[in-house]
Amino acid sequence: MGVAVFAIIALLFPTILFFLSRYWRPDKHDPRGETTYECGEVPIGDAQIQFHFQYYMYAIIFVAFDLVTVFVLIWALVFSGMGDLAKVYMLLFLGILFVGVTYALKKEEILWI
């Protein structure tokens, strides 16, 4: 019973607020808000430009190393209180990371960095 009441409230609350906000918001239309950059900057050229694939690979590798940094930092902070299974999982994680970096170097994806 409690879950059903919570589900009904969870569905009704955002719906009611959505429709109420349509009546309470100001209706001031400014043509500057319709531009590409809403800061008043005049756009130059086409917004649809092509990027090299290496930029995307750089971003993916950066996110991977960022996640590794977070996990290794947490692992290092609680290393003495961890059990053996947690240490094995972390070594497995680092092993998978090493395989990924080796693969990226072998494919020469990150040599330009």
Most confident of 5-9, 29-33, 46-50: 5-9
Amino acid at 43: P
Model pLDDT, residue 35:
67
45-60 mean pLDDT: 74
Model pLDDT, residue 113:
52
Q: Where are the domains of the chain?
A: 2-34, 53-106
Residues 6+ apart with CB under 8 A from 97: 64, 68
* 78 or 39, greater pLDDT: 78
Q: Which H or E run includes 13?
A: helix 2-24
Model pLDDT, residue 14:
93
As given in the structure block, the two tokens for residue 112 are 């330009």
Confidence category of residue 40, pLDDT binned at 50, 70, 90: low
- 46/49 Cα distance (integer angstroms): 7
